[in-house]
């Protein structure tokens, strides 16, 4: 589903051309390869009868080369720069422009979100726009009076320096999102919440066209993890042990704002799609109505794997972790499991298949661990190889990740009839054990384990390796499930139907495109 | 993972201006000092040598010295100001190895600049050859002194500067008087004076070279850096140039008027205007010294406290408290010193007739001295307030007030020349009053709006985001049509 590598560029296309679907993507396509970008490329290529325009949300102009060539049915690609609040600062005093109402509207929107509050902000911005451009406003004494008002209500005891920059980043992104000229389209499809979600919600308000969200990872959770790991966000308020301290800190402000954006997006979308049902808990917690929620799983091209020969009972017993050697994949737990397994299966081969250059420090630690445990002849790092070539040698595939959304590797192994042992993250359980509403139930396609549990993983793998009948049965179950629910064709068909329905709704319900 | 969280880190940094801007502020104060040295040494030599050689030779000698100082001060002012700022930038970025190269580069630019100035003066006045030679030597030496002095200012080594100037002054006085006693003419006396200047130059250069021992790798790197600095800090360069011309333009206009005389060597001067104004100018020395001391102690502590409060994550209320403290103490200092300055000048105004008599000047110079003394009070306010603009890095405003000062002095001096002798000195006085008030208003509003200016209005980080957009546009234009092959790994679909 990855785009073919080839000549690519965000080629200049005639702008303002009406498209069937406007995709709104934040921080991935077309500059970051793999993952969500690959999915976007797949989506457009599997809907050849529809035209797409793409709005790329990016921090600021970049010289990075695009990693994907635009497909032929893409009619426009526009950039929305979030952190490029240019404009030479103006020191002129404000011209008697009252910013109080805008400050209030912004403060309430950032704290709560929702369509009504977004409308209020849009109204205030529209009222001001006649007198001062947003860019001018953002670099003038007006902005100074705004930031002081917002600071006084949001976190008057926190670092003003941090607040100021956070405020500029948040508001700059929000203003850019409110100013951006929307490309004309029948359906607006955002691929995350965040600013992309706000832009989609705005599109819904302004055009009356249907708005659709496909959320891969939960945006607010990803930002939350980033903020927790960000050592540069000083904990400027010593909250001590008093957990109910009402004084807000910078992290709270960011998270509150991202949640507000998400709430706005969920409310503004008529369909909230995700890859697996576990994600829906987070979406519901931020106010997504149950009736809007949908699961459309990612699919793979099963034909690539269908005809692969399977590893036989006489081949050397082989277990494989297919993934990048990075901490989030918890390769060390896999190595630990290999040590326990080798005690029971002496000629075991444990492969780690995937690039090792992304986190050289972590890779070095893993190599050291293999040597320290005396697993030299057992654990092998293959580096980047084509999975199709290596699958016929694998008896059991393993995923020890600490976090995943919908790992394609489980589907790919399943399509090849290889049973899977995976940690209980993302949609692993759903793929391996089947969704609750699966009918008829196909039975397990592998075994789901806890996180960072080498012993449990070793037990599960041993069960499958030592019981060929069970292994074949689970492999077959997984293959059937993938063929039924996780094919690229099925996913493409679902989106085709969804787009058709929304486009029909746009045709008779939406407001005419404003000239 | 879709989303733009990873970009937030870059925004949390504050690119601070305080530490580098402060150096320029100091330099502005110090830059007012050199021409006072001129006047002080000339006054001393006049008093010491007049009985020995008579007025005419002395006038020629004095003209050579004044021309050397005027040419070098005006032509090197932009070099010294820009070099000061670049030294501060290099020290702030912890690259002291660049300082020697900058010094050498500033020397090259200073020599180039004085050569142009000298060529003009010599072409217009055509002085005697021996005097032209010694004028050239002296102008070049003084130019190098001003440049070196600005480097000393960047490291705030006032003690070393004072020692070098005192020893040089003593040698200059002794050698000049000795030359006079030995019967040498004006050119010989000027050579004696030159010896003292060389002592100052060596003394100052030793301080700088000892502080920055790192050798120069590329002999022209410093000169290139300064050329780049002229463009980047053009407001500083032009402001320093305008300010220095402003200090001299009234004298030049008198030299070019009907009130001018030519001394033996061919140099023009205006005895009625020059001596009175030079004496009046001396009155600013104690105030500037007092103000520098206040800056070094009270002001600088509060100045740093203000920026430290911001950087150490103070609340807006704490920042505002620090701002009020800073503004209050600075205005207090300014008021205090201005009142003292007014006192000194009042004495000068009252004692003007006695001073004129004591120095053997003409009685009709009394009113010029009085206007000069009154003007000095406001000139002090102007210098102090203009330097405040540099402390807070308001470079375009600095240029604006200096240009205003120049225009006022030139315009009002022209008016007084037209009005006649009764008004001599009034032009300078009125120019100082207006420029002083304007500079005060601008400095006061800078203190008032300091929080806004620090975070938004005058924040280089915010300007930088504009620059990034321009760069981005350029990058986009230059990358148009360029085709880059995709670099996606074939395995990525399974492992991402």
Q: Rounded to a whole number, what is the largest CA-CA distance in chain A? A: 85
Q: Enumerate the residues of chain B whose CB falls inside 8 A of the CB of residue A59.
A: 4, 7
Q: Cβ of A91 and B457 within 8 Å?
A: yes
Measure CB to CB from residue B4 to each of A59, A148, A157 and give the nearest one. Answer: A59
| CA atoms in the 13 A half-sphere facing the CB of A453 | 14
Helix axes A141-154, A100-112, angle to 10 degrees: 50
Q: Enumerate the residues of chain A whose CB falls inside 8 A of the CB of residue B453.
A: 91
Q: Is B476 on the interface with A (CB under 8 A)?
A: yes
Q: Is A55 on the interface with B (CB under 8 A)?
A: no
Q: Cβ of A63 and B475 within 8 Å?
A: yes
Query: What count of residues does chain B have?
Result: 496
Q: Enumerate the residues of chain B whose CB falls inside 8 A of the CB of residue A88.
A: 463, 466
Measure CB to CB from residue A83 to each of B11, B482, B494 and give the nearest one. Answer: B11
Domain with CATH 3.40.50.2000 in chain A: 7-81+184-235+254-295, 306-485
- The model's pLDDT over A85-131, given as tens digits with 9 standing for 90+, comes to 656 667 665 566 777 888 889 888 988 899 999 999 999 888 887 77
Q: Is B484 on the interface with A (CB under 8 A)?
A: yes
pTM, full prediction: 0.74
Q: Cβ of B456 and A139 within 8 Å?
A: yes
- The tokens of B92 are what? 């702030």
Q: Is B119 on the interface with A (CB under 8 A)?
A: no
Q: Going residue by residue through chain B (496 aa), what tens digit of pLDDT does each one get?
A: 344 443 443 333 444 445 555 555 555 555 555 666 777 788 788 878 777 777 778 888 888 888 998 899 899 999 998 998 888 888 877 888 888 999 999 999 999 999 999 999 989 888 888 888 999 999 999 999 989 988 887 666 767 777 888 888 889 889 988 888 888 888 888 899 999 999 999 998 998 898 888 888 888 888 999 999 899 899 999 999 999 999 899 999 988 888 888 887 778 888 888 888 888 888 887 787 778 777 777 788 888 888 888 888 889 999 999 999 999 888 888 888 898 888 888 988 898 888 888 877 888 888 999 999 999 999 999 999 998 898 888 889 999 999 999 999 999 999 998 998 888 889 999 999 999 999 999 999 999 989 988 888 777 666 555 434 433 333 333 333 322 222 222 222 222 2
- 3.40.50.10140, 3.40.50.970, 3.40.190.10, 3.40.50.2000: which CATH number matches A306-485? 3.40.50.2000
What residues contact A384, with CB distance under 8 A and at least 6 apart?
Answer: A354, A355, B489, B490, B491, B495
Residue in A275, A179, A219, A261 with CA at minimum distance from that of residue A486: A275
| CA atoms in the 13 A half-sphere facing the CB of B37 | 28
- The tokens of A6 are what? 């080839």
Beta carbons of B493 and A298 less than 8 angstroms apart: no
Report chain B's C-alpha Rg in angstroms: 26
What is the torsion angle, in degrees rounded to the nearest 10, for the CA atoms of residue B310, residue B311, residue B312 and residue B314?
A: 20
Helix axes B55-92, B34-53, angle to 10 degrees: 160
Query: What count of residues does chain A have?
Result: 515
Q: Is B463 on the interface with A (CB under 8 A)?
A: yes
Q: Is A64 on the interface with B (CB under 8 A)?
A: no
| Alpha helix ranges (H) inside B256-315 | 271-282, 284-294, 300-311
Distance to chain A for B473, nearest Cα, Å: 7
Q: Enumerate the residues of chain A whose CB falls inside 8 A of the CB of residue B464.
A: none
- In the stretch 436-465 of chain A, residues with CB closer than 8 A to chain B read none
What is the torsion angle, in degrees rounded to the nearest 10, for the CA atoms of residue B336, residue B338, residue B342 and residue B344?
A: 80
Residue in B447, B416, B441, B446 with CA at minimum distance from that of residue B431: B416
Distance to chain B for A509, nearest Cα, Å: 31
Q: Is B258 on the interface with A (CB under 8 A)?
A: no
Preferred mutation among B395, B484, B486 to probe A, highest tally of A CBs within 10 A = B486
Q: Is A162 on the interface with B (CB under 8 A)?
A: yes
Distance to chain A for B313, nearest Cα, Å: 4
What residues contact A68, with CB distance under 8 A and at least 6 apart?
Answer: A3, A8, A29, A30, A33, A37, A40, A41, B486, B488
Q: Is B51 on the interface with A (CB under 8 A)?
A: no
- The model's pLDDT over A304-319, given as tens digits with 9 standing for 90+, comes to 998 889 888 889 999 9
Q: Cβ of B496 and A355 within 8 Å?
A: no
Q: Cβ of B7 and A59 within 8 Å?
A: yes
Burial, B31: exposed, middle or buried (Cβ in 10 Å; 0-12, 13-18, 19+)? Answer: buried
| CA atoms in the 13 A half-sphere facing the CB of A448 | 15
- The fold for domain A7-81+184-235+254-295 equals Rossmann fold (3.40.50)
Preferred mutation among A6, A11, A12, A91 to probe B, highest tally of B CBs within 10 A = A91
Hey, which residues does A422 pair with through a beta bridge? A399, A448
């Amino acid at each position: 589903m990855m785009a073919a590598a080839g000549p690519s560029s965000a080629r200049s296309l005639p702008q303002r051309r009406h498209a069937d679907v406007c995709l709104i993507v934040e921080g991935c396509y077309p500059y970051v390869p793999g993952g969500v970008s690959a999915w976007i490329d797949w989506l457009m290529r599997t809907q050849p009868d529809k035209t797409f325009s793409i709005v790329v949300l990016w921090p600021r102009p970049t010289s990075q080369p695009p990693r994907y060539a635009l497909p032929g049915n893409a009619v426009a690609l526009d950039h929305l720069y979030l952190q490029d609040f240019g404009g030479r600062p103006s020191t002129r005093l404000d011209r008697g422009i009252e910013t109080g109402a805008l400050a209030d509207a912004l403060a309430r929107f950032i704290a709560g979100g929702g369509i009504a509050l977004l409308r209020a902000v849009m109204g205030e911005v529209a009222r001001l726009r006649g007198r001062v451009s947003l860019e001018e406003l953002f670099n003038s004494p007006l902005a100074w009076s705004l930031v002081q008002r917002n600071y006084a209500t949001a976190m008057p005891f926190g670092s003003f320096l941090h607040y100021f920059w956070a405020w500029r980043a948040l508001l700059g992104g929000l203003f850019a999102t409110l100013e951006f000229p929307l490309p004309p389209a029948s359906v607006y499809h955002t691929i995350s919440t965040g600013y992309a979600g706000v832009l989609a919600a705005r599109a819904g308000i302004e055009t009356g066209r249907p708005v659709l969200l496909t959320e891969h990872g939960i945006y607010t959770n990803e930002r939350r993890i980033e903020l927790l790991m960000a050592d540069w966000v000083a904990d400027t308020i010593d909250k001590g042990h008093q957990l109910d301290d009402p004084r807000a800190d910078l992290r709270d402000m960011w998270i509150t704002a991202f949640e507000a954006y998400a709430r706005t997006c969920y409310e503004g979308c008529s369909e909230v799609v995700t890859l697996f049902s576990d994600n829906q808990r987070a979406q519901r917690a931020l106010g997504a109505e149950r009736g809007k929620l949908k699961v459309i799983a990612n699919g793979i091209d099963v034909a690539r794997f269908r005809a692969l020969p399977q590893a036989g009972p006489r081949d050397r017993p082989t277990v494989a972790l297919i993934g990048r050697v990075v901490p989030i994949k918890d390769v060390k737990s896999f190595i630990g499991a290999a040590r326990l397994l080798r005690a029971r299966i002496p000629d075991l081969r444990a492969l780690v298949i995937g690039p090792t250059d992304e986190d050289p420090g972590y890779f070095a630690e893993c190599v050291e661990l293999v040597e320290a445990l005396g697993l030299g002849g057992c654990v092998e790092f293959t580096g980047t190889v084509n999975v199709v070539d290596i699958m016929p040698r694998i008896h059991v595939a393993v995923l020890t990740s600490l976090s995943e959304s919908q790992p394609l590797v489980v589907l790919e192994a399943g399509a090849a009839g290889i049973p899977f042992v995976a940690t209980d993250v993302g949609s692993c359980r759903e793929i391996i054990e089947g969704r609750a509403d699966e009918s008829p139930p196909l039975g397990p396609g592998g075994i789901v384990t806890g996180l960072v549990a080498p012993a449990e993983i070793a037990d599960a793998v041993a069960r499958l390796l030592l019981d060929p009948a069970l292994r074949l049965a689970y492999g077959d179950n997984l293959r059937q499930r993938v063929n039924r629910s996780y094919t690229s064709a099925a996913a493409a068909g679902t989106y085709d139907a969804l787009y058709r329905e929304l486009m029909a709704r746009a045709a008779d319900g939406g407001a005419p495109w404003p000239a | 993972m879709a989303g733009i969280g990873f970009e937030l880190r870059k925004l949390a940094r504050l690119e601070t201006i305080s530490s580098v801007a402060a150096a320029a502020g100091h330099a502005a104060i110090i830059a007012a000092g050199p021409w006072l040295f001129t006047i002080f040494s000339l006054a001393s030599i006049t008093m010491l040598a007049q009985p020995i050689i008579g007025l005419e030779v002395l006038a020629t000698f004095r003209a050579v010295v004044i021309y050397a100082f005027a040419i070098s001060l005006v032509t090197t002012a932009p070099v010294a100001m820009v070099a000061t700022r670049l030294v501060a930038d290099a020290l702030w970025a912890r690259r002291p190895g660049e300082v020697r190269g900058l010094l050498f580069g500033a020397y090259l630019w200073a020599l180039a600049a004085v050569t142009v100035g000298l060529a003009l003066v010599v072409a217009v006045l055509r002085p005697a050859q021996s005097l032209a030679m010694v004028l050239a030597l002296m102008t070049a030496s003084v130019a190098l002194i001003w440049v070196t002095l600005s480097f000393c200012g960047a490291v705030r080594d006032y003690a070393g500067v004072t020692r070098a100037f005192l020893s040089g002054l003593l040698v200059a006085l002794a050698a000049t008087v000795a030359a006079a006693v030995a019967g040498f003419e004006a050119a010989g006396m000027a050579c004696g004076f030159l010896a003292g200047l060389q002592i100052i130059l060596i003394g100052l250069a030793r301080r700088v070279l000892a502080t920055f021992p790192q050798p120069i790798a590329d002999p022209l790197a410093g000169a290139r850096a300064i050329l780049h600095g002229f463009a980047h800090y053009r407001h500083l360069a032009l402001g320093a140039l305008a300010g220095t011309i402003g200090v001299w333009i009234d004298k030049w206009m008198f030299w070019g008027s009907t009130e001018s005389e030519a001394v033996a060597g061919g140099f023009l001067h205006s005895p009625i205007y020059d001596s009175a104004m030079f004496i009046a100018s001396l009155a600013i020395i104690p105030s500037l010294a007092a103000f520098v001391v206040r800056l070094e102690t009270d002001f600088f502590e509060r100045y740093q406290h203000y920026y430290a409060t911001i950087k150490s994550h103070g609340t807006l209320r704490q920042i505002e408290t620090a701002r009020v403290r800073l503004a209050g103490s600075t205005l207090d200092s300014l008021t205090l010193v201005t009142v003292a300055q007014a006192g000194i000048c009042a004495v000068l105004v009252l004692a003007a007739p006695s001073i004129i008599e004591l120095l053997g000047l003409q009685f009709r110079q009394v009113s010029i001295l009085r206007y000069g003394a009154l003007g000095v009070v406001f000139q002090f306010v102007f210098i102090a307030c203009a330097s405040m603009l540099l402390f807070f890095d308001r470079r375009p405003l600095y240029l604006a007030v200096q240009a205003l000062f120049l225009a006022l002095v030139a315009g009002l001096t022209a008016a007084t020349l037209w009005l006649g002798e009764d008004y001599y000195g009034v032009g300078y006085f009125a120019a100082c009053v207006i420029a002083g008030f304007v500079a005060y208003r601008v400095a006061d509003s800078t203190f008032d709006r300091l929080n806004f200016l620090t975070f938004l209005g005058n924040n280089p980080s915010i300007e930088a985001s504009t620059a990034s957009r321009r760069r981005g546009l350029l990058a986009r234009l230059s990358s148009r049509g360029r085709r880059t092959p995709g670099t996606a790994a074939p395995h990525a679909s399974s492992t991402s």
